[in-house]
Amino acid sequence: MDSRKGIKTALTIVTLLLAAAVIYFGDSHLSRFQIRILNLAAIFVILGLSLNLVVGFTGMFSLGHSGFMCVGAYTAAILTMSPESKELIYYMEPIVPVLKNIEWPVIPATVMGGVVAAIFGVLVGFPALRLRDDYLAIATLGFAEIIRIIVTNTISITNGALGLKNIPSEKSLWFYWGICILTILILKALINSSWGYAFKAIRDNEIAAEAMGVSVFKHKLLSFTIGAFFAGIAGAMMSFLITSIDPTMFRFLFTFQILLIVVLGGMGSLTGSVIAGVVVTIAMEWLRIVERPMHLFGMDVPGIPGMRMVIFALLLLIIILFYRQGLMGTREFNWDWVLDKLGVAKSKERGVS
């Protein structure tokens, strides 16, 4: 069928190898600060991808992503912290005995973070996904708040408002970008599968999809749960990156940043979310300079804390009002496009004569 399939597979493998090489050299040559930013970018890429799956590909406007992140982050943190530091940190109320002596390695704990978040995804999705549009948005927002409030109040499990500290730290680019690339591959395979087609059919017209025999609720729940799973993974990675978490981190503000990534990249484009995830994370660090005191045109301008978020809010408004497609619309990066540009022709299909 496709004469260029071989070339495309080869190109994919070469790109992956190239990425591995970049990660390898990056790990040893970049400064700790740069690595940290790149790792953060990987987390935001995963968050953008998973929210895009729900919002962009399935058309469900969910605002509950920070809640699932919160679940994943706490699960991973509690599973990996050493018993000594647990004893030290839980001074308000000792931790429940079951969890006290658990000390898992980082990777199983990350997966577990995703799994627990996915369980929450099913629990939340089951009632919430009967709703649509704005009702779904406000209900998922409500669930995220409820999760946050529960985390704040179950002191013997989560240490309440004080949060958790001394979470084992994970610094290598391998861990973050490895999971990130794996996520990209899994989600790409997913949206090109029959499930993915069903998601897009639901997004484009729910009633028509149902009439065509797509089980709407099942696929919505599936998409929502997978989204929650990856949000949980990203949350777990977040707790290993910054090593201390507390419930206020996972406010609605967080979901807003992810939403910005999805909208900027284009709702319904994985490529867009990857690009926007990296761009927004780096811009977020770079824009810190506007919040510092500056010396401009011979005047001392005091730092303006919060200015970054004003810029991001304006950016979101401008995109949604004037460039609703975002960077990529629903287009994706693909090798056919590259090969066409390079002039590698498709061999002529042999017709039956």
Partner 1 sequence: MTLETFLQNIANGISLGSLYALIAIGYTMVYGIIRLINFAHADLLMVASYAAFYGILVFALPWWVSFLLAIVITTILGISIEKIAYRPLRDAPRISALISAIGVSFLLENLGIVLLGARPKPFPRPEEVVWNIHLGGISFLSLAIIIPVITLVLLIAVNLIVNKTNVGIAMRAVSRDFETASLMAVDVNKVVVTTFAVGSGLAAVGGIMWSLQYPQIDPLMGVFPGLKCFIAAVMGGIGSVPGAMIGGFILGMGEVMLVGLMPELSGYRDAFAFVVLILILLFKPGGILGEHVVEKV
# of chain residues touching partner 1 (CB under 8 A): 43
Figure out which of the listed residues 35, 138, 162, 282 binds partner 1, where binding follows CB under 8 A: 138
- Using CB under 8 A as the binding rule, whether residue 197 contacts partner 1 is answered as no
Cα–Cα distance for residue pair 150/144, rounded to 1 Å? 10
Q: Rule CB under 8 A: is residue 162 a binding residue for partner 1?
A: no
List of residues 6+ apart from 133 with CB closer than 8 A? 61
Task: Indicate the residue among 80 and 223 with the shorter CB distance to partner 1.
Answer: 223
Query: Contacts with partner 1 in 21-40 (CB under 8 A)?
Result: none
User: Is residue 53 a contact residue for partner 1 (CB under 8 A)?
Assistant: no
56: its two tokens: 């962009």
Contact at 8 Å (CB) between 60 and 54?
Answer: yes
The C-alpha torsion from 76 through 140 and 190 to 174, rounded to 10°, is -30
DSSP-derived letter for residue 55 is I
Q: Applying CB under 8 A, does 264 fall inside the site for partner 1?
A: no
6 or 293, CB closer to partner 1?
A: 293
Question: Quick check: 309 binds partner 1 (CB under 8 A)?
Answer: yes
Q: Counting contacts by CB under 8 A, is residue 287 touching partner 1?
A: no
* Closest separation in Å from C-beta 36 to partner 1: 25
CB of 334 to partner 1, least distance (A): 25
Number of neighbours of residue 317 by Cβ within 10 angstroms: 10
Q: Which is nearer to partner 1, 90 or 176 (CB)?
A: 90
Residue 48 contacts partner 1 per CB under 8 A: no
Nearer to partner 1, 252 or 333 (CB): 252
Is residue 143 a contact residue for partner 1 (CB under 8 A)? yes
| Near partner 1 by CB under 8 A: residue from 26, 142, 178, 329 | 142
Residues 95-124 as x/- pattern, contact with partner 1 by CB under 8 A? ------------------------------
C-alpha 249, offset from chain centre:
15
By CB under 8 A, tell whether 312 contacts partner 1.
yes
Query: From the CB of 276, what's the least distance to partner 1, in Å?
Result: 14
Question: H/E/C letters for each residue in 90-148?
Answer: CCCCCCCHHHHCCCCCHHHHHHHHHHHHHHHHHHHHHHHCCCCHHHHHHHHHHHHHHHH
316 binds partner 1 (CB under 8 A): yes
Select from 262, 192, 230, 274 the least CA-distant residue to 19.
274
Residue 104 vs residues 77, 86, 237: alpha-carbon distances, Å: 10, 13, 14
Cβ-based neighbours of 99, under 8 Å, separated by 6 or more: 78, 86, 157
Q: Is 213 in the site for partner 1 (CB under 8 A)?
A: no
Which of 81, 141 has the CB closer to partner 1?
Answer: 141
List 7, 19, 30, 152, residue binding partner 1 (CB under 8 A): 152
Of 3, 101, 153, 248, the one binding partner 1 by CB under 8 A? 153
- In angstroms, the Cα distances linking 87 to 99, 176, 253 are 11, 29, 31
Is residue 221 at the binding interface for partner 1, with CB under 8 A as the rule? no
Contact 254, 65 (CB under 8 A): yes
User: Is residue 139 within the footprint of partner 1 (CB under 8 A)?
Assistant: yes
